[in-house]
Structure 1
């Protein structure tokens, strides 16, 4: 091997200084590089539409090797400008060929390559390695978080199905399943009312206990439970007034098709006006604007001028509001039309009383 071909080891950070001291490049190489940069800025203003050239121009600052690639591409795009002597008459080719020659003059391209190598080794590569380690660490963290989220999702899904089982639904379509549950509420309430008489002995025992503690006989306890055991799941109107309503205006909610609720245009809206008992109540029933009303007639109201002597005595508990004795039609509307188990206040009272007697 010839002496000039023997490889030597030069530290990357000292390569540029070595080239200058060995006089491979001039000390004022930076001035030549600045002139070349100016010519490159002028040349890139007039470039053909070529994907490879666009890719090169979209990258970082052009260097000597990029300029050589551009010259080779221009030889293809400007092939029509080649004359019989093998030279190109295109200004684009001439400009870039001149740039390459300026790079090769006094080996200026070596100084640029040495500077780029020093920058890559000391700055770019460590930065990229640092970012790579950070991305790998973040990737591991994200994978761990993804696994935790998956476990949490499975846990929440299991809790969801457990809660759905407690509600008696599958959880596939809770909207429809809840509608079905609402439709089954009357049956469930009937079952509750049938089971309440079993608590009569417990209530009596609790009542005797209170009498013994208070040292008095007139003790009232668990009134809602007592009423439901004796009278059943009546309307709130009957619970408050002691008289069963003759007409119940029930607000019907359309669970399946809430947007298609139809209103009867023939109904008369009496608003908050007083009810004239003397008129015939067989006419169209009033609507308060809150929805359709279903009228459940327990008995026919008295016709005008007729007297009904079959008046049944009704015992009214203390605290209940008294009705006018001359009133023969009892209409339950709004919350009074609800049953005791449907009305939240009385239902909560029952729950509280059940808790009280269970302690």
Structure 2
């Protein structure tokens, strides 16, 4: 095999060391490059107006091959200055010819070309490629975050709509709508105890066990009269009139309808958010004034004699003494203050009613356990009631189910919302704040989505703009690779030169 047929394979990373080791280029080329760069900077200051020159000089880095193209163009533009001996009188031509001479001295041009080629392969092209990938990834991440925020937005909107639907609100004017829905409370209370008549048997059973015919007084009253006023329960007669307590929600003006102010949910000293619970409600103590019955004779402070008794006139109108007597018996009086509440609406009596339900439920559950044990045993060991055979375990279980059904109705979430809304100003404020905060969060999400959408578009545009830069960089690197291979080939009898690990490895 001829030596000319043996290819020269040079790894790209070792190209500069290879050139130095063959004494083709000097080991330190920086002083030469610095001098050449200064010459190029001075030469650029005086250039003719030419489209080809403008295109060449617009590049980020001018190398030896660009300088040769500039000289070729100047041969046309400066041909009038050429002498008979072939030299040019133009200073422009002289400057660029000097640059070419400095490049070719000790093959500095080849060393610089190899340096640019290696830098492009190792840093420039991979750097641009990584930047494009990163921009595309950031754009995709922005789109993904938009999808995640859309899910959260939908969840908030659904929760907001569900809460409004549960409360029977539209969300336009909370003060008016709260006041309107609170008018439904009497109907809700009546519906919650519609099955209270089913407690007749368990109440009688408990009375028989406790030997107290007046046990569970509120349940008995509700079974007989329904959800009457506290006045009716206390005085055993219906009032002539009821002066209802005004509903004062005390909502801040900015929370009545949608606004731009931030909502303060109120945090405690530990930074924990306030929660909607019964602990926020200050029910106060219900003071019930009952007339005390007194016996014995009344001392009016009047000393009378038999003669005086004959002169007493019993026909004097009682109004003359400034006294007003309310009606008695079925006539009743006026229910005011706490006595104007219904039993299920009164903070005090509502809790007592629920306590009575739990008391009755506990008794029946224990009764059910006892009967279950009795039915599973051949011997009756003991009995809480003499009438043990009257009710079996299944019938008692049915009574327990009836009580639990009433408890569920009385304490369901919707009823508790309305009840606390009426009796707790803090609860009304927090509920209004919660509704408004949901919509504020939705608005913030929507604004963030728009920002992310714009960011995604901008990042995508930047990645697209970098692709032509990458392609141009690859094109120039291919040119440099070709020139290096041909230059080295000429030095070794036109043997084939292969730069290994070049563009193909990127």
TM-score by length of 2: 0.37
TM-score by length of 1: 0.48
- Of structures 1 and 2, the one with the larger relative CO (CA 8 A, separation 6+) is 2
